[in-house]
Amino acid sequence: MAERATPRRNRLLLAQWAELLESDAYRRFWFMRLASHGAANAVTYALLVFTVRQSASALATGGLLLTLIVPSAVFGAVAGVVVDRLPRGLILFLSNVGRALLAFALIGAKDSLPSIYAVSLGFGLILQFATPAEAAVVPHIVRPTKLVAANSFINLGTLVSQVLGILVLAPILLKTTDGAPLLFLLVALFGFAAVIITVIPQFHFAPQNDGRGRVTISAARREFAESWQTLSRDSTAFLGLTLLVVTSISILIMATLLPKFGTAVLEIAPENLVYVLAPTAVGVFLGLHSVEYLAGRFDKLATISGAYLLMAGSLIALGLVPATGDFLVSVDPAGLFSAGPLNEQSARIVATAAYANLYGFALTVVLTMGRTLLNERIPLAMQGRIFAAQAVLANMVAILPVVLAGLLADAIGVGVVLIAAGVAALFAAAWSRARTGKLYAQSP
């Protein structure tokens, strides 16, 4: 009886996360992700810094992001079918080995913009296989009742890996060295992740004959269409996927705009922006810590919808950071900005940290609940294709907004672009809600 009551008493505590770590498979999977995502985040940061060193234009940054997302448009459907056909342990192993080789190649490529783009394109290609494979294996290593907690703790690992890669390893080693020691360390981290994969009991590495034949373009299209039809018949899962897609696009747009935001709005160097955004970890952690309680209190669909609206509003608010900074200076709370130690730049940094915390909280809840809805409602044999579909849609739809965001940020200002991104996110949610409502009305 006491065991049954534990989840309710500890919804906002760490008990369920500790229980998850008692599972050898989940614990090894979590640390594998910590190593590989920490290295991947450091690589992304390094690629961004290497690109900015070659060109400070927001368009150049957008070009870098396109090398990471274009492979999804070309290989995403095939990758999803491969993930559902081949052993996911084998896919994850080869993905980490491949990224280790690319990190090594970047040592000699970091001083040329075309070479940086070429290596980044390789990372983008591998990502199409690694991302759906990671998302699809979660139901195989945890019980269905633990999916919310499992995805929440996985997102905590993602946060830790971001701190490790973006706030610790990459900034320190890029400031004190030419970048080669960082890249050697990342080779080791990817290699470590590959080794851990081999000792997870539920992961298999030998292909099994399932009677479906070889993976061809026509077979990939047919099986991808089959999974899409399954998704379309479930209005809740479809809404969850749509919100995940738009959220992913918002992340890419934010990544494109951040260097320009740092220099134009906050008047700081791009490499120092990570320290301004470091307090966002508080909002992310609060989102991770409260997501299960919110899902139990308001149900999963209401939780993800409310968090998404907050995320869109936070994007708009970030576009209004200069106005918020001027307001803080005019109000001058506690005399901090007139005779105090702070100035207009400090006010903008304070506003940025506050709005970024809201964005981080909402983003975390949306990502956790969206993945949980798909894990719960989509057949296990199709989840690789569905998570690949998420990446395909996000990256294909993001190509034009990312390019426009870079161009418009240089032309009319980063604040206007952020406001437009938030408004567009609200319109996308309204369209998806109207579509799912229509599907629900048509269902028998």
Is 90 exceeded by the pLDDT of residue 389? no
First to last CA, the chain: 39
Average of per-residue pLDDT across 27-33: 93
Residue-level pLDDT at 105: 94
pLDDT digits (tens, 9 = 90+) for 318-337: 999 999 888 887 777 666 65
Higher pLDDT, 133 or 70: 133
Question: Residue 3 has what pLDDT?
Answer: 38
Assess whether pLDDT exceeds 50 at residue 160: yes
Query: Is residue 217 included in any domain, yes or no?
Result: no
Q: Does a structural domain hold residue 218?
A: no
Q: Which of 87-96, 136-145, 236-245, 385-394 has the lowest mean pLDDT?
A: 385-394
Q: Is residue 10 part of a domain?
A: no
In this predicted structure, what is the pLDDT of residue 210? 53
11 lies in some domain: no
Residue 312 lies in a domain: yes
Question: Residue 39's pLDDT band (boundaries 50, 70, 90)?
Answer: very high
Q: Over the stretch 261-290, which tens digit does the pLDDT of each residue have?
A: 888 888 887 767 777 887 888 888 888 878
pLDDT more than 70, % of the chain: 86
Count structural domains, the chain: 1
- Report the predicted TM-score, pTM, of the whole model to 2 decimal places: 0.72
CATH code for the domain in which residue 65 is found? 1.20.1250.20
Domain of residue 347, residue span: 23-202+233-442
Q: What gap in Å lies between CA 165 and CA 167, rounded to an integer?
A: 6
CA distances from 407 to 201, 204, 315 (A): 49, 46, 18
- According to DSSP, residue 166 is labeled I
With cut-offs at 50, 70 and 90, classify the pLDDT of residue 2. very low
Q: Is residue 2 assigned to a domain? A: no
Dist. CA 410–CA 413, nearest whole Å: 6
Whether 224 maps to a domain, the answer reads no
| Percent of the chain residues past pLDDT 90, beyond the cut | 22
d(CA 416, CA 6): 48
Whole-number pLDDT of residue 13: 44
Tell me whether residue 17 is in a domain: no
